[in-house]
Structure 1
Amino acid sequence: MGSVVISLDAELGWGFHDLESPPTTRLESGRSGWRAMLDSFAEYDIPATWAVVGHLMLESCDGEHADHPAPAGWFERERTEWRDRPDLRYGRDLVEGILSSGPDHEFASHSFSHVLFDNPATSRTLAEAEIARSVEIAAEWGETIDSFIYPRNGVGHRDVLAEHGIAAYRGRSPTADGARGVVDSVLTDRSLLVKPSIDEYGLVDIPASLFCFGFEGSARTIAESVWADPMVVLARRGIDQAASRDGVFHMWLHPNNLTHERDDRRMRAILEYVERRRSETDLVVETMGDIADRFRESAPTAQPSRPASTQSSP
Structure 2
Amino acid sequence: MGSVVLSLDAELGWGFHDFTSPPPRRVEAGRRGWATMLSLLDEFEIPATWGVVGHLMLSSCDGRHADHPAPDGWFERERTDWRDREDLRFGPDLVTDLLEADVDHEFASHSFSHVLFGHPKTDRELAVAELERSREIAAEWDRTIDSFIYPRNDVGHRDVLAEQGLTAYRGRTPNRHGARAVFDSTVRDRSFLVEPLVDEYGLVNVPASLFLFGFEGAARTVAESIWTDPMVMVARRGIDEAVRSDGIFHMWLHPNNLTHERDDRRMRTILSYLDRKRAETDLTIETIGDVARRVDVPRGVDGTVSPVNSQPMSGY
Coarse TM-score class (shorter-chain normalised): over 0.9
Cα distance between partner residues in 1 of 2:313 and 2:166: 17
Partners of 1:113 and 1:131 in 2: CA distance: 10
Between Structure 1 and Structure 2, how many residues are aligned?
Answer: 308
Matches within 5 A, 1:27-106: 27-106=27-106
What do you get for the CA RMSD once the two structures are aligned?
1.7
Match of residue 287 from structure 1? 287
2:12 is matched with: 12
For residues 214 and 166 of structure 1, the distance between their equivalents in structure 2, rounded to whole angstroms, comes to 29
Distance 1:305 1:71, change over 3 A: farther
Letter in 2 for 1:16: F
Tell me, yes or no, if structure 1 residue 259 matches structure 2 residue 255: no
**Equivalent residue of 1:207, what SS?**
coil
How far apart in 1 are the matches of 2:197 and 2:90? Answer: 34
2:173·2:313 contact (CA, 8 Å) conserved in 1? Answer: no
Which SS does the other structure have where 2:118 is aligned? Answer: coil
The amino acid across from 1:79 in the alignment is R
The residue number in structure 2 matching 1:304 is 305
Q: What is the TM-score with the length of structure 2 in the denominator? A: 0.95
**2:227 — aligned with what?**
227
Range 13-22 or range 240-249, more displaced: 240-249
5+ residue gaps, structure 1 = 307-311
1:274-297 Cα deviation digits (max 9, x unpaired): 100000000000100000001137
The reply on whether 1:162 has 2:162 as its aligned counterpart is yes
Deviations 1:218-275 (A, max 9, x none): 1111111111100100101111111110110000000000000000000000000010
Partner of 1:272: 272
2:216, 2:295 → 1: CA distance? Answer: 34
Distance 1:213 1:12 in 2: 17
CA distance in 2, matches of 1:300, 1:41: 37
How far off its partner does 1:313 sit? 11
1:176 alignment partner in structure 2: 176
Q: 1:300 to 1:285 in 2, by over 3 A?
A: farther
Report 1:166-205 matches (<5 A).
Answer: 166-205=166-205
- Name structure 2 gaps, 5 residues minimum: none
Are the equivalent residues in 2 in contact too, given 1:182–1:214 (CA < 8 A)? no
Q: Distance in 2 between matches of 1:232 and 1:266?
A: 6
Moved over 4 A (4+): 299-303
Provide the identity percentage.
69
Q: Per-residue CA shift, 1:161-201, capped at 9, x if unaligned? A: 00011110100100112222222222111111100010000
Kindly indicate whether the alpha-carbon contact (under 8 Å) linking 1:57 and 1:91 is maintained by their aligned counterparts in 2.
yes
CA contact (8 A) 1:128 1:160 kept: yes
